[in-house]
A and B are shown apart, each in its own frame.
Chain A
């Protein structure tokens, strides 16, 4: 590991908050790197100093009158009914449900057929349908259904004749 990568881990290592495997890597690096070792010592000394300060400055004490007043307030307070769902327990469930909903909505959006194209195809197909129905009326020589797709400017035309099995090969034979 390089010093740059180790540097990010040093504050956690100094306080004993790295998992054993990572801590071992940092230790191995620090044994060979005086600069990182100095950094660890500095962090430990600073942490130690804040702990010493905090211990010297013991938390303030309650004034007895304030404490008694608080206990009187408690005695007159009404306990809340048990909430059916604790918000902290619910949070992961809510996030999961929301994520699932988003994924489902996204999938629906992507899998949906483009509406305009479907309508156009249906229109063209239905326009050809009457002719197809008259064409297939004759039992001897069934005429194919013809699907015509024409761009708005009329420059591109796709004409697709097909029989009832969507088979192109039989047409014209």
Chain B
């Protein structure tokens, strides 16, 4: 763990609440982004990210300083997002005849950032839509957030084998979706490392 983070964690645990903000500040936007890609809705993402930061503060005493703080935050966020999704499903079942919620595809997602970015976001969300919730979690952590298999497994609270199985299925589905709907993207500039 980063010595600066370790120091900040100790300060918070010793009662210096002001040290919490500099501790989490570098992760606030990445966490919001991951929350958005998990929930597919800007408002829900904000709620999930807020919940994750509050939980992080509440349970900071349980944080193992030998671990990566970022991965610990991701782990909390994933649990918050699952909790939120289950709550949302229950609410929607209870209000089955109510109005349909806006999703990322028809809602104004976050601040206005120009047409091109909105198109990119819609495409990415459309690709992610083909995945199951677990495949989406695995794919986002491994392929978008660049965690390795072991780290993803730890964040998700499952085995590395389970991550591999879901990752494999997710990549195949994404490939099929892109091939069918966005063949123009297949020639994008390469960012992948070679084997």
Residues of A within 8 A of B (CB): 8, 11-17, 23, 27, 42-62, 66-67, 70-71, 73-75, 77-83, 86, 88, 91
With A47-B192, A60-B45, A82-B62 as known contacts, state yes or no: A77 contacts B171, CB within 8 Å: no
Instruction: Find out whether the CB atom of A52 lies under 8 angstroms from the CB atom of B191.
Output: yes
Number of CB contacts from chain A to chain B under 8 A: 155
Cβ-defined contact, B186 with A53, below 8 A? no
Q: Is B124 an interface residue (CB 8 A)?
A: yes
Instruction: Kindly report which residue of chain B lies nearest to residue A7, judged by CB atoms.
Output: B172
- A43-B175, A77-B57, A88-B157 in contact; A59/B185 too (CB < 8 A)? no
Give every chain A residue within 8 A of B188 (Cβ-Cβ): 45, 48-49, 52
Show the binding face of B for A, using Cβ within 8 Å: 13, 17, 20-21, 28-30, 32-34, 36-37, 42, 45-46, 50, 53-54, 57-62, 109-111, 116-117, 120-121, 123-124, 127, 142-144, 149, 157, 164, 167-172, 174-175, 178-179, 182, 185-193, 195
Bound-state CA distance A98–B88 (Å) is: 33
Residue of B nearest to A24 (CB): B195
Q: SS class of chain B's interface: helix, strand, loop or mixed?
A: helix
How many angstroms from the CA of A46 to the CA of B179 in the assembled complex? 8
Complex: chain A residue closest to B17, CB-CB: A75
Residue of B nearest to A46 (CB): B175
Contact A53 B171 (CB under 8 A): no
Is the pair B172, A62 in contact by a Cβ cutoff of 8 Å? no
In the complex the two chains form, is A49's CB within 8 Å of B186's CB? yes
Are A79 and B123 closer than 8 Å at their CB atoms?
Answer: no
